[in-house]
Amino acid sequence: MSLTYAVEKFIAARDTLATGPDRIGERLKDAWVYSLVNIAPERDIPDPDLRTEFEEHRARLNSGQPISQEGTIAAYINTQPEEIASEEVRWLLTFLYRLEELEEEMEQLRGKN
């Protein structure tokens, strides 16, 4: 896996957020559960600052206390106001752009060698 894998997963998450029929919190949960949880930061995000930032967001979203059959991400999102979900979505989109910029920089460096 690689940075390209992380970018692909964030693009899939973005698409889930953009096209999902549910409320923003439910779409955010789906974006994480079906795309972003598969990212291994130490393997897929080479920049240490971006890696730390991703790990912090992942830890926050996994901090919920599940009730019944829901997972930790659903538990966290279900207890937050919609504004928090909107903030997380904005972060997710911005983070995707930053990953894409890093990927482009790395490709340019490879091309110079």
Q: Would you say 25 and 61 are in contact if contact means Cβ atoms under 8 Å apart?
A: no
**Chain segment 6-59, per-residue pLDDT in tens:** 999 999 999 999 998 899 999 999 999 999 999 999 999 999 999 999 999 999
The domain locations on the chain are 3-112
The model's pTM is: 0.92
* Average pLDDT for the chain: 95
CA distances from 52 to 25, 95, 110 (A): 23, 12, 25
Over pLDDT 90: what percentage of the chain? 88
